[in-house]
Amino acid sequence: MTSNHRLTPSGWALILVGVAALTLSGCGRKGPLDLPPTASSAQTPVAPEGDTETRRAAEPSLFNPNYGTDAPPAAAKGRQRSFVLDPLLGN
């Protein structure tokens, strides 16, 4: 028994759009970050006496935009290489 069902270009396009939609739907999700399995939400850190804002600004953190602003650059600035879109970007 043979079958003569062949996908037309519109059928392939529909499959491609479906696969792309399924792939992109799993890229991320909204909401807070998940805690590690070993973390417990009942623990609260005890804050020591003192200026907490100054101490907090000195701590490294992903959510601290001011951390490292006074530090020197990690690497020396290299030479600028040309890029194809430089004339369009005005560089």
pLDDT value at residue 83: 82
Retrieve residue 65's tokens. Answer: 């935009």
pLDDT value at residue 68: 64
Measured CA to CA, the distance from residue 34 to residue 39 in angstroms comes to: 10
- The model's pTM is 0.29
In angstroms, what CA-CA distances link 50 with 23, 30, 55, 56, 57?
A: 50, 36, 8, 11, 13
Give the mean pLDDT per block of 10 residues along the chain (91 residues).
Answer: 78 93 76 76 55 71 68 75 82 61
Measured CA to CA, the distance from residue 59 to residue 57 in angstroms comes to: 6
Measured CA to CA, the distance from residue 64 to residue 61 in angstroms comes to: 5
